[in-house]
Amino acid sequence: MSCGDKKKKIIKTIKIDPDKCNGCRACEIICSAFHATPKYSSNNIARSRIRVIRDPLKDIYVPVYAGEIATAECMGRDKYVIDGKEYDECAFCRASCPSRNIFKEPDSGLPLKCDMCEDDPPQKEPLCVQWCLAEALTYEEREEEVEEEEANMSDMETGLQSLVDKYGLQNLVDTIIRMSRKD
Ligand code: SF4
Ligand code: SF4
């Protein structure tokens, strides 16, 4: 892989304050509706790129965003204990991973990743932030120098690898050829 030039890039961040989250799940609903096909045609939260880990009895709610895609499950496990409650292994992990069903498209099983609502139509702020009336989610932007080409290539390779793992290389190639013949 060639060494990419340093480029200015806007880094988008969503700051999460679990103390303010009341578990209303509006963030899950709007994210799943925005990513439905066609847009806003359904609100199945299994399609959401944000999930709220909940313990209503203790009034604990922790929003977790879908992050990087893992093509193989990791060797270790994390266990969190918060206010005496032990959460499931991997409960706060952000990865779509072969060992669990969270952060996977329910119909196809393909991995989900938060895309900051960078879709058509463009949003002035991510929709989950706009819908969080409790202000548990706040949006920030800053400019940084990054090796942009390498980062983009890595994302694309990871996405392609997960498709190959799920459907097989030949099926993937056949589908791309069939799609390219349309129109
Ligand atoms: S919309 Fe805000 S308050 Fe409601 S569950 Fe999501 S993060 Fe928590
Ligand atoms: S930023 Fe957009 S894609 Fe990411 S979790 Fe929020 S609503 Fe979903």
Side-chain half-sphere CA neighbours of 156 within 13 A? 6
Q: Are 64 and 53 in contact (CB under 8 A)?
A: yes
> How far, in Å, is the centroid of ligand 2 from the Cα of 134?
16
> How far, in Å, is the centroid of ligand 1 from the Cα of 129?
9
Nearest CA to ligand 2 atom 6: 128
Q: What are φ and ψ of residue 142, in 5° steps? A: -145, 160
> How far, in Å, is the centroid of ligand 1 from the Cα of 9?
28
Parse the chain into domains and list their residue ranges.
9-145, 155-182
To the nearest whole percent, how much of the chain has pLDDT over 70?
Answer: 91
Query: Does the beta carbon of 136 sit less than 6 angstroms from any atom of ligand 1?
Result: yes
pLDDT tens-place values along the chain, 183 residues long: 445 578 888 899 999 999 999 999 999 999 999 999 899 999 999 999 999 999 888 889 999 999 988 888 888 888 888 888 888 889 999 999 988 889 998 888 889 999 999 877 888 899 999 999 999 999 999 998 877 665 555 566 766 777 777 777 777 777 777 777 765
The amino acid at 61 = Y
Query: Does the beta carbon of 95 sit less than 6 angstroms from any atom of ligand 1?
Result: no
